[in-house]
Amino acid sequence: MKVLIYTAEITERLSYTFDFILGDLLGLEYIFTRDKDSFLAHTGPRFSYFTKPVGDELFFECAPLLFENNIYLQPIDFINYENMVGFYLVSGRSVMPFDLFASSFSLLSRYNEYLIHKKDKYDRYRAGQSTNYMAGFLNKPMINYYALKLKKLLAAKFPELKVKENKFDYTATFDIDVPYAYRGKGWKTNLKGFARAFLISNFREFFDRYRVLFRNKKDPYDTFEYILSTCKKYAVKTKFFFLVGNKSGLDKNISHTHEGFRHIIRDVSKQSEIGIYLSFMSHISNEVMEEEIQRLEFITGLKITSNRFNYLRFTMPASFVSLGRIGITDDYSMGYATRSGFRAGTCSPFYFFNLLKNERTNLKLHPFAFMDTTLARYNKLGTKDSLEKILLMMKWVKEVEGPFVGIWHNNSFIDTGIWKGWENVFEAVAREASALTEKGE
């Protein structure tokens, strides 16, 4: 059963937004019409997205955004309604006080990131400039709440309409930029490490390094067996991203030719999905990106189609256009390094929309909710506060029955320094996610 939608004009922005909300999130088929008579005569599910009602239908008043082609600084209002916050205030005739579709497109397209803005020292868009941060809902998947509200409105008006039932699930992803603490670093780096540890009287590190390099002790960053066994225990889906670019000031990885590192990559790829972790310096050219992907494909014998950018550094739309050109179909970089939450306002995967060309692409973006280094390093939170923050976001994602994605690092489970106790956080998140998944079955 298709939903008939009356609107004044059918545009790329309009189709993209309705495809995501009605199609992807609600599982509904729909068709647009500009014919008032056929709309009024329709006896099945219908609503209008227009400047004024056509008749006595379910009416959503529209803002101009989805019918425009240009990019400019938008006049934004923050409208609180029930458990939601939206933009683009509309009149009282509308079933909702704000345009949920225009609000969604503004977030999904990363509209503000095309405008002039200040970047951080790593050339990244700052979280504090985003509309969802300023509106106070960065940690909530607001578009999913919009869809849930739309589902309720449609169900009340058209009880015969069958809407898709989504289910919560959790995926733990892992960024592997430093597979070893000591191995594969070269004699100069390790000699400096020995000297530094001795000079500051860090004898634990001194002898730990010695035992790893000369007594065949397991490297402290080699936590892959622990990660995989824990995720298997709680039936958590996993995805690993490996950095195999050339070493630079911000890319701290060991050589992709190191046999121990290659063994880790091959072993993990047999037990989990993997992707490329494109280096900070990969933005120099598409050729550099392609070379790094080819390295990982050579090591694993697998076709690599998933990416995450190191340092979560990307620019709109250039970075994602490049990914599409080199054969990447899925990107997992949609989030902030400095703040937890949903950068694009949703926890669900969505297709990248190129605002400069005003068109949907075939590159799918997968948002993540949190990253361990965001909490421990950037926000300087302890394990208790970090766990509480993660579980609160998980609760909100469970409310909308969406996917919950987190980022971890293999060197976050060394149980020293700021990472003391993070194994407990990792296991608690996996345990709670497993319990919530079972509830939804």
Q: What are phi and psi of 205, to 5 degrees?
A: -65, -40
Query: What are the strands of the beta sheet with 29-33, ordered from one edge?
Result: 29-33, 2-7, 46-50, 58-61
Cis previous bond, 64, omega within 30: no
Tokens 């939903």 sit on residue: 3
Averaged pLDDT of the chain? 93
Quick check: 245 and 279 in contact, CB under 8 A?
yes
- pLDDT at position 180 is 86
CA 333 to chain centre: 6
Measuring CA to CA, how many Å separate 385 from each of 344, 375, 380, 382, 389? 24, 9, 10, 6, 6
| Per-residue confidence (pLDDT) for residue 441, from 0 to 100 | 56
What is the pTM assigned to this prediction?
Answer: 0.94
CA–CA gap between residue 352 and residue 362 (Å, rounded) = 7
Alpha helices in 119-172 (DSSP H): 131-134, 142-157
Distance CA 305, CA 297 (A): 10
Can you name the residues that pair with 32 across neighbouring β-strands?
5
Query: Residue 283: what pLDDT?
Result: 84
Strand, helix or coil for residue 403: strand
Q: DSSP state, 119?
A: B
Strand duo 46-50 + 2-7: pairing? parallel
169-181+219-440, which class in CATH?
alpha beta
pLDDT at 197: 59
Cβ distance 345 to 105 under 8 Å? Answer: no
pLDDT of residue 216: 75
pLDDT of residue 289: 96
DSSP state of 284: G
Residue 117 burial (10 A CB sphere; 0-12, 13-18, 19+): exposed
Domain positions in the chain are 2-157, 169-181+219-440, 184-216
Do 343 and 326 touch, CB atoms closer than 8 A? no
pLDDT at 438: 82
Match 């970075």 to its residue by tokens.
319
Please list the pLDDT of the chain residue by residue as tens digits (441 residues): 899 999 999 999 999 999 999 999 999 999 999 999 999 999 999 999 999 999 999 999 999 999 999 999 988 889 999 999 999 999 989 999 999 999 999 999 999 999 988 899 999 999 999 999 999 999 999 999 999 999 999 999 999 999 999 999 999 999 999 998 767 666 567 566 556 755 676 756 765 665 666 667 788 899 999 999 999 999 999 999 999 999 888 888 888 999 999 999 999 999 999 999 999 999 888 999 999 999 999 999 999 999 999 999 999 999 999 999 999 999 999 999 999 999 999 999 999 999 999 999 999 999 999 999 999 999 999 999 999 999 999 999 999 999 999 999 999 999 989 999 999 999 999 999 999 998 755
Longest dimension (CA), the chain: 84
State the Cα–Cα distance between residues 221 and 364, nearest whole angstrom.
31
| Number of Cβ atoms within 10 Å of the Cβ of 352 | 24
The pLDDT assigned to 117 comes to: 86
- Name the residue type at position 173: T
Alpha carbon of residue 240 to chain centroid: 14
Instruction: Tell how strand 2-7 and strand 29-33 pair up.
Output: parallel
Query: CA 328, CA 276: separation in Å to the nearest integer?
Result: 10
Report the 10 Å Cβ neighbour count for 273: 16
Vertex 363: Cα angle to 434 and 31 (nearest 5): 90
